[in-house]
Chain A
Amino acid sequence: MSAVLDQHGHSHGHDDHHHGPPSGLMRWVMTTNHKDIGTLYLWFSFIMFLTGGVLALGIRMELFQPGLQYWNPEFFNQLTTMHGLIMVFGAIMPAFVGFANWLIPLQIGAPDMAFARMNNWSFWLLVPAAMLLVISFFVPGGATAAGWTLYAPLSTQMGLGMDLGIFAMHIMGASSIMGSINIVTTILNMRAPGMTLMKMPMFCWTWLITAYLLIAVMPVLAGAITMVLTDRHFGTSFFNAAGGGDPVMYQHIFWFFGHPEVYIMILPAFGIISHVVPAFARKQLFGYASMVYATSSIAILSFIVWAHHMFTTGMPASGQLFFMYATMLIAVPTGVKVFNWIATMWKGSMTFETPMLFAVGFIFVFTMGGFTGLICAVTPIDIQIQDTYYVVAHFHYVLVAGSLFALFSGTYYWIPKWTGHMYDEGLGKLHFWASIIFFNITFFPMHFLGLAGMPRRIPDYATQFADFNAIASVGAFGFGLSQLIFLVVVLKAIKGGAKVGDKPWEGAEGLEWTVPSPAPYHTFETAPQVK
């Protein structure tokens, strides 16, 4: 962004006291302030992240050795299912919405989100949804055990936990749609004078595109799970062949949602990385325009690749070929992004504080997930590795090393702005190195397990798979414990630490660095001029 900022008509010094937050619990329940709501989203997603993480450790505990040690197979399936649902809908998605709330108004020079009260509502809907998910473990029959994809007709067999899961996802979907409408409206209507779309920060661009994806596909998910609900209770047969339905139709509908969903979870991550890399390379983002076009192409392509999740359901050769070609095309714009980041680093003047470490780690490890994605796109190879641990490795490389590392990178980058304090750099670096090492110990061996034919979602396995599973389990516990370092760093930064000025990072650019740290309760009441 080469915009020159004009501070004219924008004063920091005015009396914040009148506009300060009310105190106590009601501040958080009633708040319509984008910063408070952003904070709520971030804490909510972190709590869900820990919850989903505990479930993951439950899985890895059982898989540490062959044989059934701790759980019965039914509960094991509940663990894998709920780990997936909670991480996708409870941790990663809300975390990015938290970033959007905090940053979009600050980056475009708007006083708040467009629909402030709806913003409150879209956050507070998440809490009952999360409660439904957690409570479902304790109802007769336990939580749903049909996998996070909730494939019919298995999902029509489940008990009450399945219904709770469906309602939870309906509510979370409604929350996401409201959040997206809010983001689109804010970005399109509330940018500071002079900030044309092509001058807008990359994070806002990626979120604008993500919000459109969400609006397009969340209703599709709602439709799919509603059909499961009516099949379960109201005698319909959408997915029951005996009644004229088709189980595979569920998968088509689900993945029409599910594939764009993958990009919903990674595009804002691309946005964050596109801020962090230039800041620490002290050099402008390379190929801003091509970044925007690449993001848009990825979003459009994401609608025509869904059946690559279904190569083994048995579709005509022409279908397999179409979805293989379309999927491989996605590698091109994704490659452009990686090349742009590296070109941004090239001949920069780099320093490696924690945000940059996570960003470089992201580029390195996410790209490995990209390569395995390319390998999975090749239909014949996919048929070998579909539903094996290879796929588990692949999507954890893009979701953990991708989305999650970008979230960490962004948190370290902006936490001085949020709290007014610099985080503990030593602990941050420790968090990075522990995370990236344990991440690879956990997930790299899974490639081998998958190639050797170990299916996913099984509580017990052939003894020949034992060693790699043991390594993965050790890594998983290490990775899980490493996240407590992050918690400590964040709490320390909130409580105190070195005070920072408006712009703690030498190379940082953007309107958010023109306001004081911590950002006052109300910012940009008068719009800044962007030239």
Chain B
Amino acid sequence: MGVAKWINKVAAAAVPALGAGAALAQAVVDMPGGPAVRQLNLPPPVTGIASQIYDLHFVMLGICAVIFVAVFGVMFYSVFAHRKSKGHKPADFHESTAVEIAWTVVPMIIVIVMAALATKTVLAMKDTSNADITIKATGYQWKWGYDYVKGEGEGISFFSSLSTPREQIEGKAPKGVNYMLEVDNEVVVPVGRKIRILTTAQDVIHAWMIPAFGVKQDAIPGFIRDTWFKAEKVGVYRGQCAELCGKEHGFMPIVVNVKTEADYTKWVEEQKKLMAAKMDDPNKQWTQAELIARGEKVYAATCVACHQASGKGTPPAFPPLDGAKVVQGPKDNPIAVLLNGRQGTAMASFKSLSDVELAAVLTYTRNSWGNKTGDAVMPADIKAAKAWDAAKLNQLSAKAQ
């Protein structure tokens, strides 16, 4: 593998325009729970299923290697021995029933053996019954949402987004060891317990995968699918969305933190307290400044990927909010867009955010960059809008062109 490093070095030196060359030159080390540097094989398995897959792959590779050597041994022997330049005269045979039957039957037997070996694992992977904890993973463009729906921790719910800083991606800062595979909120599960993952999606198809667990399951909008794992080792394990889901497909990692039973219980208690504290007091009177401050956070977590921190978007796919008529016009229109999404575009419905969050982010966008409406959208406005019927929402959302 020394060659790889060498090529890399030469290439980095030869293309100074890349700038990141300096960052690259610093030693890259294995990512704990993620890929190792120049990893050659499947990751070290952490679940029973993953180790079955690991072994299955090894056996398949072995069988293929034996066939490879046998078949190409014969071919290359022939290539070297049966040459015209060596004076070899062509033989006259061009069929042999016995040989042809043999090389149909033998491969048949080999594939039957392979299929038999794999069948047990297929059935085991599909057995999602008797789970200790059930977690629903929802794919959004472009982050994951998790709801603990059954078992210890029931009721915990959070979003999980990429936490790698933008500067690292743009090459303005050295890249960290967990680059691209780190999130703000990790999924936490106890070790040695059967965890069932329900997958679904809000907008398009995503896929939830953790290679070390041998798990990959598509998340399909409007449908629920399931998979399961039972992690055997404490640690942090990493994967990412595996189904092309649009612009930021490469930027929605999945991180699972496997803790001991005791640590898991502690985490659940912390989460419950945090959630209680985070719940907005429904009777609170918000000032415009408070809403803007809160809205900036919502914007950074939810909107920034498409509409950019500058509010300029990346047109034409993701239009600017800065200076946009719909943002600054009568509040009903942007409210309808947030609640309803916009058909035929990447703009999804954000109904799942709370009234306060929606009010805050609207107040923020209506009073940021060049936008100066000077007013505030109150949570009560959102609450009222949620009562509108679908027809009105559609009409307003369409009008907000």
Contacts and interface: CB of A to CB of B under 8 A. Distances in A.
Given A371-B68, A452-B36, A458-B249, A247 B220 contact: yes
A304 interface: no
A447 B171 CA distance: 27
Contact of B103 (A145, A335, A347, A351): A335
Given A157-B345, A232-B344, A246 B223 contact: yes
Contacts of A147: 244
A329 B34 CA distance: 35
B344 to A, nearest CB: 6
A381 B250 contact: no
B71 interface: yes
A381 B216 CA distance: 11
Given A381-B57, A383-B125, A470 B175 contact: no
A374 B225 contact: no
Nearest to B220: A247
B83 to A, nearest CB: 5
Nearest to A335: B107
A353 to B, nearest CB: 11
B364 to A, nearest CB: 24
Contact of A287 (B4, B95, B119, B246): B95
B61 A348 contact: no
A450 B26 CA distance: 24
A116 interface: no
B111 interface: yes
Interface stretch (B73-81, B261-269, B320-328, B371-379): B73-81
B95 A383 contact: no
B90 A349 contact: yes
A465 B107 contact: no
Interface stretch (B150-158, B203-211, B228-236, B295-303): B203-211
A462 B239 CA distance: 10
B53 A384 contact: yes
B60 interface: yes
Nearest to B179: A463
A142 B316 CA distance: 8
Chain A interface helix/strand/loop/mixed: helix
Given A153-B203, A342-B74, A462-B34, A69 B111 contact: no
Interface string B168-205: 11110001011111000000000000000001000111
Given A156-B344, A455-B250, A151 B179 contact: no
Contacts of B221: 153, 241, 247
A199 interface: no
Given A73-B251, A332-B111, A349-B90, A157 B37 contact: no
Interface string A312-336: 1110110011001100110110011
Contact of B222 (A77, A242, A316, A324): A242
Given A284-B94, A379-B118, A448-B40, A470 B8 contact: yes
Interface stretch (A217-225, A359-367, A519-527): A359-367
A287 B122 CA distance: 37
Interface in B17-60: 18, 20, 23-24, 28, 30-31, 34-43, 49-50, 52-53, 56-57, 60
B225 A314 contact: yes
B122 A77 contact: no
B28 A464 contact: yes
A199 to B, nearest CB: 14
B60 A69 contact: no
A460 B94 contact: no
B79 A345 contact: yes
Interface string A335-375: 11011001111111111100000001001100110010011
Interface string A454-487: 1101111111111110110010000000000000
B117 to A, nearest CB: 8
Given A282-B90, A384-B216, A453 B7 contact: no
B75 A363 contact: yes
B129 interface: no
A371 B74 CA distance: 17
Nearest to A289: B95
Contact of A350 (B82, B214, B249): B82
Contacts of B71: 338-339, 342, 367
Contacts of A65: 12, 18, 20, 24
Contacts of B56: 378, 380-381
B95 A153 contact: no
Interface in B60-110: 60-61, 64, 67-68, 71-72, 74-75, 78-79, 82-85, 88-96, 99-100, 103-104, 107-108
B271 interface: no
Contacts of A518: none
Given A77-B246, A285-B94, A349-B90, 17 more contacts: A73-B251, A153-B221, A154-B244, A157-B344, A247-B223, A283-B92, A312-B218, A350-B82, A360-B79, A380-B118, A381-B53, A383-B125, A383-B216, A452-B36, A453-B35, A463-B24, A463-B179
Interface of B: 1, 4-5, 7-8, 11-12, 15, 18, 20, 23-24, 28, 30-31, 34-43, 49-50, 52-53, 56-57, 60-61, 64, 67-68, 71-72, 74-75, 78-79, 82-85, 88-96, 99-100, 103-104, 107-108, 111, 114-115, 118-119, 121-123, 125-126, 168-171, 175, 177-181, 199, 203-205, 207, 209, 211, 214-218, 220-223, 225-227, 239-251, 314, 316-317, 344-346
27 contacts: A66-B180, A77-B246, A156-B344, A247-B221, A286-B93, A313-B220, A314-B226, A314-B227, A320-B126, A347-B78, A347-B90, A349-B88, A349-B90, A350-B79, A350-B83, A351-B83, A379-B118, A379-B121, A380-B49, A380-B214, A386-B216, A387-B242, A387-B244, A448-B38, A452-B211, A458-B250, A464-B36
